[in-house]
Amino acid sequence: MEIPQKNQQVFPFTDEQKKILNHPPFKHGRILAGPGTGKSTTAVALARELSSRDPVPRIKFLTFTRAATIELSKKIVAHEIYMESASRLSERSYFPVKSRHMLVVSKCNTYMYG
């Protein structure tokens, strides 16, 4: 599945993808699916949709592998999807993407070293 350009969609979203895109933004959610099913495409579309809200919800994308982390990060950057609202453009940053391992290590470091 191709990654759509800004404001463009290559294929119509499936019912499962629509459920993810309509998930309440202030609740935890997850996408579990096999290879090639459109997880990254759905995550990019979700990030794009959430970045247009005011206030922008605080979210993190968590992946199983470093390769998936790098791939999703590149797609979010390529689509220029920021987590700050337009009123704070000077403080722009991208949605964070981490592997499960990186999240655990960062939490352990915070706990151990403050």
Question: Could you tell me if 44 and 9 are in contact, meaning their C-beta atoms sit under 8 angstroms apart?
Answer: no
Q: Is residue 8 part of a domain?
A: no
Q: Is residue 2 part of a domain?
A: no
* Distance (Å, whole) CA 40 – CA 59: 15
> What is the amino acid identity at position 44?
V
Range of the domain at 21: 15-113
| pTM exceeding the 0.75 threshold for the entire prediction | no
Q: Is residue 84 part of a domain?
A: yes
The pLDDT tens digits along the chain (114 residues) read 444 555 555 678 889 999 999 988 788 888 888 888 888 889 888 888 888 877 777 777 888 888 888 888 888 888 777 665 444 444 556 567 777 667 677 777 777 776
Q: How many domains does the chain have?
A: 1
Q: What is the CA radius of gyration of the chain?
A: 15
Token pair of 12 as six digits: 């119509």
Which residues are CB-neighbours of 37 under 8 A, at least 6 positions away? none
